[in-house]
Amino acid sequence: MIYETVVTTMNPDGTVHIAPMGIRVENRKYLISPFKPSKTFDNLVNSGAAVINATDEVMIFAGCLTGRENWPTVSAERVDCERLAGAAAHIEVRVERREDDELRPVFTCRSVNIVAHAPFKGFNRAQAAVIEAAILVSRLHLLPEEKIRSELKYLNNAIEKTAGEKEKTAWQWLLEKVEDYYNNAALASGRNS
Ligand SMILES: Cc1cc2nc3c(=O)[nH]c(=O)nc-3n(C[C@H](O)[C@H](O)[C@H](O)COP(=O)(O)O)c2cc1C
């Protein structure tokens, strides 16, 4: 099973890096698989620590994919790292092992502190739709435009029926990113023809 979370790591200059990541839990270990190259990969190698944040603030997922990377953080307790201030729960981890791979290495981590901050509120379809759309946005360069547009059209049903203001804003950011991407691609192909 994969949990869609937000992983925070520390940059060498002491600032925090925030990135949505799918996390697996196996034999009570937490598996983080950042693509190469990525800041999360570099930071895990350099610092050997991270925080896995569970949050339903989907503006953070959409924000990180659309250039809005500044979200409030506070210090973690047992690792030298920051965590999301608004996380519903967070897990502080240290890297135990790295399985190298050209494209997608796996960091096996052990938890050193698990803290719950807020109760589980239940599922929301619009939040799930934003997460799905954020994943589509992270794959714009890999997937055909037709597939992107048809999936967004389907996901839009959940937004229309169940979104709150934050989900609507997150959705809008993602739609703008999609349009920018295809507009730029059209301009570039016009320049090259
Ligand atoms: C829900 C969700 C899950 C993601 N999971 C991963 C992941 O497991 N590994 C990864 O490398 N990128 C993942 N991404 C994409 C990264 O968040 C994004 O590409 C990010 O920029 C990673 O690179 P960075 O560490 O340099 O910021 C995910 C994106 C979303 C929206």
- What tens digit of pLDDT does each residue of 110-145 get? 999 999 999 999 999 999 999 999 999 999 999 999
For ligand 1, is residue 63 a contact (CB within 6 Å)? no
- Matching residue, tokens 């659309």: 66
| Cα(34) to centroid(ligand 1), Å | 7
34 within ligand 1 shell (Cβ under 6 A):
yes
Nearest one of 172, 177, 133 to 155, comparing CA atoms: 133
Instruction: Tokens 């934050």: give the residue.
Output: 166
Residue 30 beta carbon below 6 angstroms from any ligand 1 atom? no
pLDDT > 70 in the chain, percent: 99
Domains of the chain (ranges, CATH numbers): 2-116 (2.30.110.10), 125-192 (no CATH)
> Relative to the CA of 40, which ligand 1 atom is closest?
25
Return the sign of the alpha-carbon dihedral for residues 103, 106, 112, 115: positive
Angle at 11 between CA 67 and CA 107, to 5 degrees: 95
Q: pLDDT tens across 40-68, in order?
A: 999 999 999 999 999 999 999 999 999 99
Decide if pLDDT at 193 tops 80. no
Q: Is the CB of 35 under 6 A from ligand 1?
A: yes
pTM value?
0.96
What is the mean predicted confidence (pLDDT) over 169-182? 98
Residue 28 CB-density burial (10 A; 0-12 exposed, 13-18 middle, 19+ buried): exposed
CA distance 135 to 112: 29
As a whole number of angstroms, the distance between CA 137 and CA 143 comes to: 10
Q: Residue 150's CB: how many other CB atoms inside 10 A?
A: 11
Task: Name the pairing type of β-strands 89-99 and 29-32.
Answer: unpaired
The two three-digit tokens of residue 61, written as one number: 């997922």
